[in-house]
Every structure is written in structure tokens, then in C-alpha cells.
A and B are shown apart, each in its own frame.
Chain A
Amino acid sequence: MSEERNMVTVYILGEHFMVPEGSTIMTALEYSGFQLKRGVGCREGFCGACATVYREKGEYKLKGGLACQTVVSDGMTIARIPFVPAEKAAYNLEELKPDVSTFVELYPSVFRCVSCNTCTKICPQDINVMDYIQDIIKGDIASAAQTSFDCIRCGLCALRCPAEIVQFNVGMLAQRLYGKYLAPKSPELETRVAEIEEGKYESEIKRLKVLPKEELVKEYYERDIKIT
């Protein structure tokens, strides 16, 4: 920790700290002595726990990012957003229709979208958030599901939205409707599930389970590998 490094100044909730150049916002917080409990999760950009807003020195623009993925700059002012109060509709997926009517009922705020694109601009995943909201308004649930798929639910879009849309929950619903109702089914999967239930592989697995180790090892190393 004591190695010689260039230091930069950051303002954590407005308070001044010196941290090593090249730190992420998250490691800068820890370097400054904060033991994180909220606003920290996977630390690799997959969980959305560490949404953060910041201003860079001399910039008028308020930016958003993930604390674990954003490198600090000299003079940066940082405020973490550890929680986003968001409306989440409770529903029974079995009873829903994979079309626009479901959104009219569960998330009517979607139709208030003013196409300002603020959601897209703040998204740390560079998802075209506004596009998938517009897809839903147009009734294209499949496109909304595909476009929103990489969402990690950090919540920055919903916080910035002037129409009070909770984009990340809307996208989640689109994905679930697509996965359950719209994606074409795999014929092989159904067949295999039925075969296993009928006990087609039972005797062969039972044989392997009791095979002496030397024979099992031999069969393993001699098994036929067919990968493409």
C-alpha cells in the first residue's frame, strides 16, 4: 500500500481525500478508510450494487457509472447511490399475455415516455434503454427483451427518468415474457426430460456408480470426445 504512486484528489460526498491515480471509485473509497457495506457487491460489473453519480473537475455534466468499473480523475466529486426506491409489480407469470396489454396493466408509466433519452445516456452498460421502452409501447416485446437483456439493474435510468418509469423492472418483465412465451421451444429438451423420467439411462448410470475405480478411470480416459 505504501508504494510510490501519483496521487489524485477526490471529493467523497464532498469531502476531500487523496487516493492513488488509477484507482476505481470503489478502491478509492476503501483506500480512504471506508469499509463498504452498502453499494458494493460483485466488484466486477455484474450485480449493479454500486451505482454512483459523479462530476468531473470543470464539467457541467452529471455522469453515472459503476463504482467498481469507473476510474477516478483528479478533482472528481462522488456520491454513491446504494439503493433505488422502485416500483416492482407483483404478478403471476402464468397468467400474463406476452403483449403490450400486460405493460398497460402492470407498468402504465411506460406510456409516459417523452423520448428524452436521458436513461440511455446514463446507462453504465451502454444499453439503448429508451429504445426498449419504445419497443414496448410499439408492442415489440421480443426486441425489448433482447435490447434490455444486459441490464444489471443498477437503477440509474429510473432515477434520471422525468416520466418516473422504472426501466429495469420493465425490461425484466419483457425478458421473462420472451423467455417463457415467445422464444421458440427446444424439441430436444422435451424429449430428453421425458427419457430421463422413463428411466432410459438409469441402468447405465447405476453401473458406473458401482464400477471399481480402476475400471472407471480407464473408461473415462478412453471416452470418445466429440466437441465442435
Chain B
Amino acid sequence: MYPEYMNASLKKVEETREKRYALAKERGKEVFTPQSEEEREAVLANYHPDYKDDARREIRIGPNKGERITGRVADVLESWPRDPSSRFDLSRIDYETDILIIGAGSAGLSAALEASARGLNVLIATKLRLGDANSMMAQGGIQAADQKDDSPVLHYMDVIGGGHFDNKPDLVEALVNDAPKSIKWLEELGVMFDKELDGSMSVKAGGGTSRNRMHSARDYTGAAICKTLRDEVYNRPDTIKYIEFSPATELILDDKGQIAGAILYHLETKEYSIVKAKSVVISTGGFGRLHIRNFETTNHYGATADGLVLGYRAGANLLYMDSVQYHPTGAVFPEQVVGFLCTEKIRGLGAQPVNKDGELFVYPLEPRDVEAASIIRECENGKGVKTPSGLTGIWLDTPLIEMLNGEGTIESSLPAMVRQFSRFDIDIRKYPILIYPTLHYQNGGLEINEKAETSIPGLYVAGEASGGVHGRNRLMGNSQLDIIVFGRRAGTYAAEHVLAGVTIGRLTLEHVDRYSEKLEKLGIDKKRISPVILPDYIPDHVKAKQLTLNYFGTLT
């Protein structure tokens, strides 16, 4: 329950609720005027964390050398390989496969299913378990323009405007065109989407959407999809093998510059394995666990940008690594759930963000970067509520949902949120929740084209690890869509690549040696190692006694 000192503020929220309810009844979700281009630019420039002076620095190595990118990302790219190439004997192959998929979230699983459907052998290597990914944690929905008053054209416009017009048009076209058939594919695999009695999809609005386009499966949308894909992968043991607890630590090329496999490292047995493959898909997800600017994150334990490091060292270029997505509504109270995701579906259902005085201060469904920056502005202007652990947040007025949509809506539409907060004695049907932006998504990544290809022959990237689909800001529901659309495309085109006939030459790690020579010239501290693999949450007083030389995740 909330501490007593918050009661005065809670009372104000309650007092203004009736008026705000009347406003919503009259104006729909446009209870506050959406920001113009100028207003958006101003709030971003002044309050979004990406725009702080020290948010970015120049990267001094690799294909994007000279570009200003997010500082923490530059740090992991300017880091040493875990092991020098001389330690590996590439003539001793442990696994040989048609397609190696690195990362087993919904993008990797979709790719595996498509490649398997074409009769190829697939090996999935994953750092933790199959399905251990941000994919599993997505709550609110997946976009697809399948309603009568909607179209892929309107979807295209929303995506590209939300991304500040920096998205690669070919990728956006693929995303919106494949969206309805992706929903159909998932339904045929048995995903249970929320529906009306006649079978039509229950759709909600999301931040930056011009139509109700968000398909959901309660607030377990990502879990429903990822569980189903994983179950289907388990059904195909003849063509899809998988190795768990085995992150890739390096990509292997051949002497012709084609992709040729990867090195895997088993987290428990500490053995390295050499995988030879005719094609590789990177679907390793994003970077939330790098805790950029020391933000708390919504992300999975394994989200440490490993795929970026692997691809970059092998020579693939990055796109938009200067932009970071902070989800507008991360929990700030109670302490145990700080940083956790409070789905955008909460606002899609009509909940409004209000300040400590119960006042609306922003259109509830701006694109995420604009909404997040507006919330930070409100807090910096002294309109936030302080928590006992010293954080500040604003209220997200959930009780409005039931006033607008009827009693029982929260329980049926947001069961995960109800559970999350009731574990700490907060009933979100009766009380608002306290939120602040939280590190959520990697907008950029390894550049791909509409076939999910990179600049390295045979290397494909899908999902959060890729860059270009979302420009510099992704909209809600387009990540779940991205991982299905581009996961399937990666699996399909990787299979076509293999079926067209690939001859792998001599395996080599010379690209790693060349990269290391540059690191040497830059004088990079030898203790800086990547891929990071796992974050490090061991407290200092324990470390002082451990005398360990290298931790996973220790950058400095």
C-alpha cells in the first residue's frame, strides 16, 4: 500500500477524476491536445535523456567509426574479445548445420520455423533458455492494420512519423504489409488473440497510432506468442536442434568474407564449441541490461547487446545507435518493482497520466519518446510525487479504465498488472500507480534490408538487434510485429540463400585479430571485455572479498 504521506496527492487525483472522466466521455482519448511538430521537438531537446550533453560519444573503431553514438554502446564496442583467436582450433568443428540462429526470442524462433518448413537443418544457440527474451515480456500488443477503417498506408504513416522520418522506407513497407498475414500465421499456430464475440479482433489505440490497431492477448501478448512459437519448435526435433546456456562469443567468417559460423561458450561447463553454418541469423535482442545512463530497465536479464558486438566486429554496420527508447511508464513504487514495465495498454484503455495535483499535462498517447520526455519535464518542474526510496514519479490513473469501459475490465484486460501490484497490496482498480520513464528498447541496431540481410554475405539479423525498421523511435506494438515479420523473413531468406548453394571456404577469425589490433592502438583497457553476456549485480562488499579478475558484465 502507499505510504500515508501520499494520501493528500492521492486525494487530489480522486477529486479531479470525475471531471477527467467527463472530458474523456466527451473527447475520447484526446483529453489533451496532441503536440505539434515544434512542441515535440522542444520537449525532446530539453528533457529526453538522449539529448543530454554527455549521452553520446564518438566511436573510434569499426564500420561506424567517427559517428556519435550512445556512450555505453560505444564502451561495449570498444572492448576486447573474451579470448584471443589463437586459442581456437577452427579445424575441429563441434556442430555443423545449414542455419545457425543466435538468440531464441520470438524473432529467432520464427526464423527457425520458416527455415525448418523449407526442410533445412537449424541449430538455435541461446544464452539462457529457449524463449528467454524480451519477447516473452511484451504486454500490450502487436500492431496490424486489419480493421475496416484502417490500412497499411495509415500504419506506414504512423510508423515513419513516430520514428522521426528516419526509418528505412523499404523496411517499413515490409513491416506494414506483412502485418495482417503475421497475425493470421500466429493464429494458425494457435495464439489466442483478444476477440469480440463475432470473432473480430479487439483492438485498442497505442501511442502515436491514428487508428485502433493494437491486437492483444490480455496483457500477456508477448508471452502468448513466444510460448506458442517455442512449443512449435519443440514439435520439430528432426530439423530444429537447440543448445541452451550457450551464448555466442564471436562470429566466424570464411576466407571469402562470407559468414561461416560462430563460437559458443557454455555458461556452466565453460566449454567453447565451434559451429560451422552456411548462414547465420542474429536475433539476440537489445541492450537494456547495459543500464544506459544508469536507468532501471524493463528488459530481460540477458539483454546485453551481444549480437551488436558480434556483428560489428565481423564488419556489419550499425544504424541509429544514437537513440534509446525509454518507456514512458515504468513502475517507481513499490521498491521491489522499480523499473518494471506498466504496459502502454493501460493508457490504450483510457488511463491518464496526471501530476501530484491530479492535473493532466500531456496527451496520453504521444509517441513514446515524446510521452516520456513530457513526464520527465513534469517531474523536473516539481509536479511529481517523491517515493520513500528517493525516486520521483507521476500518477497513472488506472481506476478511470473501469469508469470508461465497465467494471471487470482491468481484471480481464490487465491480469498481469493486477497480479504485479496486488503482490504488494496495491489494487490498481481502486488506486492509481506511480510511474516514471524506464529504459526499454534499442531503437537502432545492425543495419538490414527488407530481406533481413546485412552487408556480410549469409548473415541475417532480425528483431531488436536490427536497425532501420523503427527509425529513431519505435511505437508500441511494432516490436512484436517486427520480430514476427523480420524473424520469418530472416528464416525464409537465409534458407533461400542456403538452397541456392553456398560453399564455405576456410574458417577464420582474422576479422577479430584486425579488430584487436585497432583496440591495441587505441590503448583500450584489457579488462574491458565484450560481449557482456550477463549484467553484474554483485554488491561491492562481496566483490571486495571475491578477488575475481573478470566478471561477466564488468566494463571498467
Contacts and interface: CB of A to CB of B under 8 A. Distances in A.
Interface of A: 1-2, 22, 24, 27, 30-33, 35-38, 40-47, 49, 69, 71, 88, 90-93, 125-126, 145, 149-150, 152-153, 172, 175-180, 183-190, 192-193, 196, 201, 204-205, 208-210, 213, 216-217, 219-221, 223-228
Contacts of A220: 157, 160-161, 165
B301 A43 contact: yes
Interface in B118-172: 128-129, 131-132, 134, 136-137, 145-149, 151-154, 156-157, 160-161, 165, 169-170
Interface stretch (B220-228, B378-386, B457-465, B485-493): B220-228
Contacts of A49: 128-129, 132
A213 to B, nearest CB: 6
Contacts of A47: 131-132, 136-137, 223, 300
A35 B534 CA distance: 9
B209 A227 contact: yes
A188 B234 contact: no
Contacts of A37: 128, 245, 267-268, 534
Contacts of A90: 234-237
Interface of B: 28-30, 34, 36-37, 128-129, 131-132, 134, 136-137, 145-149, 151-154, 156-157, 160-161, 165, 169-170, 173, 176-177, 180-181, 183-184, 187-193, 195, 197-201, 205, 209-212, 217-218, 220, 222-224, 227-228, 231-232, 234-237, 245, 267-268, 298, 300-301, 335-337, 340-341, 365, 415-416, 419-420, 423, 534, 536-542, 546, 551-552
B153 A208 contact: yes
Given A186-B201, A220-B157, A41 B192 contact: no
B538 A35 contact: yes
Contacts of A210: 169
Given A45-B419, A205-B152, A223-B154, A176 B29 contact: no
B371 to A, nearest CB: 15
Contacts of A41: 128-129, 132, 136, 300-301
Given A1-B541, A47-B223, 14 more contacts: A22-B335, A30-B539, A44-B341, A49-B128, A125-B419, A149-B217, A150-B416, A172-B231, A179-B228, A204-B153, A223-B157, A225-B34, A227-B209, A227-B210
A183 B192 contact: yes
A49 B301 CA distance: 11
Contacts of A178: 190, 192
B136 A186 contact: no
Contacts of A188: 146-148, 200-201
Contacts of B542: 31-33
Contacts, number: 227
B192 A201 contact: no
Given A43-B301, A45-B416, A150-B415, A196 B34 contact: no
A195 B154 CA distance: 15
B538 A33 contact: yes
Given A153-B227, A179-B191, A228-B212, A42 B218 contact: no
Contacts of A228: 28-29, 205, 212
A179 B552 CA distance: 41
18 contacts: A1-B539, A30-B539, A33-B539, A33-B542, A38-B245, A45-B420, A69-B420, A90-B234, A150-B218, A177-B190, A178-B190, A193-B146, A193-B180, A201-B151, A225-B30, A225-B34, A227-B28, A227-B209
A228 B25 CA distance: 10
Contacts of B298: 44
Contacts of A193: 146, 180-181, 184
B305 to A, nearest CB: 17
B224 to A, nearest CB: 7
B161 A196 contact: no
B29 A227 contact: yes
Contacts of B300: 41-43, 47
Contacts of A179: 187, 189-193, 228
B152 A201 contact: yes
A30 B537 contact: yes
A46 B147 CA distance: 29
A176 B137 contact: no
Contacts of A224: 210
Nearest to A153: B227
Nearest to A70: B423
A46 B223 CA distance: 7
B201 to A, nearest CB: 5
A50 B146 CA distance: 38
Nearest to A208: B156
A176 B341 CA distance: 27
A225 B192 contact: no
A27 B34 CA distance: 40
Contacts of A209: 169-170, 173
B331 to A, nearest CB: 10
A35 B146 contact: no
B246 to A, nearest CB: 11
A125 B197 CA distance: 26
A192 B160 contact: no
Closest 10 pairs between A and B when the two form their complex, measured CB to CB? A176-B190, A184-B199, A227-B205, A220-B161, A179-B190, A33-B542, A209-B169, A1-B539, A179-B192, A180-B190
A30 B535 CA distance: 11
Contact of A187 (B29, B199, B220, B365): B199
B183 A189 contact: yes
A93 B201 contact: no
